[in-house]
Amino acid sequence: MLAPRLGQRTAALRSTASACAPPLPLPLPLRRPPRPPPALRRSLATAPPPPPASPGGSAPLTKAKRVRFYRSHPYWTALLAAPFVVTGSLGVALLGLWAWDASTFHHPHASNVPIDPLALNPKRGGKKNLKIAESLVDDLDARKVNSSGKAKKRLVIVGGGWGSVGIVKNLDPDVWHVTIVSPDNLVEPLRKIIARVGGHFFAGKAIDVDFSERLLEVDCAGHGENFYLPYDKLVVACGSVNSTHGVPGLENCFQLKTIQDAQAIRRRVMDNLEAAALPSTTEEDRKRLLSFVVCGGGPTGVEFASELWEMVNEDVIAYMPSILRNSVKVHIIQSRDHILNTYAEKISEYAEEHFRRNEIDMILNARVKEVTPDKVVYTVRNKETGETKEHELDSGFTLWSTGIAMNPFTQRVASLLPNQYHKHALEVDAHLRVLGAPLGTVYAIGDCATIETRLVDHLLEFVERADEDKDGNIDRKEFAKMMGYVKRKFPASKKHFAKIENVFDKYRRENGTLGLNELADMFLEISKKITALPATAQVAAQQGQYLGKKLSTLGKQELDETALKNGVYDDPDDMLYHPFKYKHLGSLVYFGGAAAFDIPYFQKAGDLWAMYAWRSVYLSETVSIRQLVLFLGDWVKRSLFGRDLSKF
């Protein structure tokens, strides 16, 4: 039945296929397309007749006419086909997604993988005679040896933030047997990232380290006794805690370090709003509940204050009694003259202008003295008279975000080593190796690390290498050579030695050389000019990437034992790889529907356009495609439905 009908139709079509197409002015690009010809208008107004139920009749003729029309009006044909093409493509995409979804509902049964008996019954050792995790329960799935049969080197990373992710994503899994120790996985599900390099993860807290035996002690929060994790190289990347500045009552503050922190803050803010709406709440209590105090005018404090303000103004106003909106007050206490004082002046000014417009209360030049459950006590110093005056602020919620300090593990590491004097972080050299630890075995990155800037500590070493005639003086030629060493060891000093001639001439003695005193003065002055890297995700991520790539290179070389034995690489980090160099991609601050950029050679702040730019940069920095999609999804959700008012 079908075949003859098809044949007949095709014949009918063929008979008209050679007919001449009538001339038609084609639509001009960039202009409104002309009205469709009458025949098309008719066919647009009424649905085309259904194909005939039986062959014969006048239908094939109509069909042939239509086909002739389509063939002679290709633009209109394409236009008419467009909706079908779009719908069809979407349908195919959905079907594909469905098929994929359906295909993922398989339930693989784990085969019984053999387990190294040593993993189940570890030996004991080390100073504290703890179990040593020489072999791990998943070593036989994840392989302890590399593709050429050699045992992999052990890399242990403490912490699971941006820095660790940066390392793992750049690591050669054929070289390193990697284990991450962190009480939480913070950035995004670490397990998946680690699985890609056949690595291991332990949800524990590093609490001590034995540099001589290369053992890291891990506390498992109540699950069995502590154990030792052996390493060939250790990376400390465990971030920081908020600096207390010795202020009493910080247990009454919220902090914003982890996702749990963010959830707790959200719950508290919503609880306060709900409590403020209760009829039993007095006017005074309502004002206190709706007074939000942010201690610290850095990027975290500024972004939080803006987010809070935006939430209250966009959503709360629509769904809660308007008395709440009128009573909400956001305060930000900053110890300096300006908020965002580490940013370019332009950015700082824009942020302050934005805050003033939104009636966010900025309290500048103020120091928090004490925090109680419902109050923040602070002092403000009058710059002219020098007097300090004490003030009190009712607070229903206090956020503490005033700089960083060492966490207990970092403190422990610093206490074990000589040459660690920095207050907030572990000092590392330009290769990110922790100063004082056995060379090339301990690295530190991210918030818990700071790159040394004291050139003068290495003065004698530089002179030793550069003073070719051993006369104790550095002449112009020797100085040029010395500058090479200095720049290699302190890459951040590079821009301060802009013109060697000038520097040399500025300090040189009358005899045309530099002595130790002159060099020391020069080094001290330059050290002062070097600023420490900020405690940002950007720095941590770049350091992680650098270390991941470097360790892959070093690891391959170290596995080549002849090279090692010949002692070619007494300082492999320096011989085989360049020092770390930070590439500032720009700082971004986002505040309530606006954003500010602080990019090299470009400072700019603005409303909508800056916000979208911020988003795109942020997106390009996210960890994975997965996170990117989820992130974008969240924005779309926010646009479509507003912020979620639920507490979860």
Show contacts with a second copy in window 260-289 (CB under 8 A): 260, 263, 271, 274-275, 277-283, 285, 289
How many angstroms separate the CA atoms of 543 and 549, rounded? Answer: 10
Q: Which residues from 490-529 bind a second copy, rule CB under 8 A?
A: none
Q: Is the dihedral of CA 33, 35, 38, 42 positive or negative?
A: positive
Q: Which of residues 578-617 bind a second copy (CB under 8 A)?
A: 592-593, 607-608, 611-612
SS3 state at 637 = helix
Which two structure tokens, joined as six digits, stand for 275? 């409590």
Site for a second copy in 304-363 (CB under 8 A): 310, 313-314, 317-323, 325-326, 358
Please identify, using beta-carbon distances, which residue of 385 and 646 lies nearer to a second copy. Answer: 646
User: Which H or E run contains 292?
Assistant: strand 291-295
Instruction: Provide, for the chain, the percentages of residues in helix, strand and coil under a 3-state DSSP scheme, each rounded to the nearest 5.
Output: 45, 15, 40
Cα gap 63→69, rounded to integer Å: 10
- The token pair that represents 138 in the structure block: 């998943």
- Identified binder of a second copy from the candidate list 39, 44, 61, 82, rule CB under 8 A: 82
Site string for a second copy, 460-489 (x = CB under 8 A): ------------------------------
Among 53, 120, 149, 384, binds a second copy (CB under 8 A): 120
Separation of CA 253 from chain center: 25
* Smaller CB separation from a second copy, 18 or 212: 18
Q: What dihedral angle (degrees, nearest 10) is formed by the CA atoms of 504, 506, 508, 511?
A: 120
Q: Which is nearer to a second copy, 284 or 510 (CB)?
A: 284
Single out the residue of 46, 54, 104, 566 in contact with a second copy (rule: CB under 8 A): 104
CB of 248 to a second copy, least distance (A): 24
CB of 311 to a second copy, least distance (A): 11
In the complex with a second copy, which residue's Cβ is closer, 415 or 639?
A: 639
Min dist. Cβ of residue 191 to a second copy (A):
4
Where does this chain touch a second copy (CB under 8 A) — which range of 256-264, 296-304, 407-415, 493-501?
256-264
Residue 184 binding a second copy, by CB under 8 A? yes
Residue 218: strand pairing partners: 206, 227
Q: Is residue 224 a contact residue for a second copy (CB under 8 A)?
A: yes
Least separation in angstroms between CB 233 and a second copy: 19
For the record, the structure tokens of 549 come out as 């790539």
Binding status of residue 619 toward a second copy by CB under 8 A: no
Single-letter amino acid code for the residue at 507: Y
Cβ atoms within 10 A of the Cβ of 273, count?
22
226 binds a second copy (CB under 8 A): yes
> Which residues fall within 8 angstroms of residue 450, CB to CB, at 6 or more apart?
422, 424, 425, 426, 427, 428, 532, 533
Q: How far is the CB of 514 from a second copy (least distance, A)?
A: 56
AA letter at 337? D
Q: Return the structure tokens found at 237.
A: 């990347």
| Given 46, 54, 111, 566, the residue binding a second copy (CB under 8 A) | 111
Complex with a second copy: residue 251 or 283, whichever CB lies closer: 283
109-117, 239-247, 445-453, 545-553 -> range binding a second copy (CB under 8 A): 109-117
Closer to a second copy by Cβ: residue 2 or 498:
2
Residue 397, beta-bridge partner list: 292
Site for a second copy in 20-39 (CB under 8 A): 20-26, 28-30
- The one-letter amino acid at 401: S
Q: How far is the CB of 381 from a second copy (least distance, A)?
A: 34
Site string for a second copy, 133-152 (x = CB under 8 A): x--xxx--x-----------
CB of 432 to a second copy, least distance (A): 28
Indicate the residue among 472 and 642 with the shorter CB distance to a second copy: 642
Q: Show contacts with a second copy in window 4-23 (CB under 8 A).
A: 6, 10, 13-14, 17-18, 20-23
Q: For a second copy, which is the closer residue by CB, 184 or 471?
A: 184
What's the closest the beta carbon of residue 275 comes to a second copy, in angstroms? 4
Taking CB under 8 A as the criterion, the residue among 41, 389, 391, 626 binding a second copy is: 626
User: Which range touches a second copy (CB under 8 A), out of 186-194, 241-249, 464-472, 524-532?
Assistant: 186-194
- Nearest by Cα to 226 from 234, 217, 216, 238: 217
Pick the closer one to a second copy by CB: 267 or 495.
Answer: 267
Q: Phi/psi of residue 394, each to 5°?
A: -65, 140
Q: 61-80: which residues touch a second copy (CB under 8 A)? A: 67, 70-74, 77-78
> Do 98 and 47 touch, CB atoms closer than 8 A?
no
- H helix or E strand, kind and range, residue 416: helix 408-416
CA 105 from chain center: how many Å? 33
Q: How would you label 299-333 residue by residue, b for 16+ Cβ within 10 Å and e otherwise? A: bbbbbbbbebbbbbeeebeeebeeebeebbbbbbb
Mapped onto helix, strand or coil, the DSSP state of residue 290 is coil
Residue 590, classed as helix, strand or coil, is strand
Q: Which of 95, 97, 460, 524 binds a second copy (CB under 8 A)?
A: 97
Q: Does 47 bind a second copy (CB under 8 A)?
A: no
Contact call for residue 162 and a second copy (CB under 8 A): no
Residue count at the site for a second copy (CB under 8 A)?
Answer: 123
Nearest to 450 by CA among 383, 530, 508, 345: 530
Buried b (16+ CB within 10 A) or exposed e, 151-182: ebbbbbbbbbbbbbbbbbbbbbbbbbbbbbbb
Cα angle, residue 139 at apex, residues 133 and 140 outer, rounded to 5°: 140
If one asks whether residue 95 binds a second copy (CB under 8 A), the answer comes out as no
Complex with a second copy: residue 73 or 154, whichever CB lies closer: 73
Q: Does 53 bind a second copy (CB under 8 A)?
A: no
Q: Name which of 243, 241, 534 is nearest 368 in CA terms.
A: 243
The 3-state DSSP class for residue 343 equals: coil
CB nearer a second copy, residue 243 or residue 327: 327
Tell which positions 356-415 bind a second copy, by CB under 8 A: 358
Nearest CB to a second copy, comparing residues 45 and 113: 113
Sign for the pseudo-dihedral over CA of 113, 116, 117, 119: negative
Should residue 102 be labelled a site residue for a second copy when binding is judged by CB under 8 A?
yes
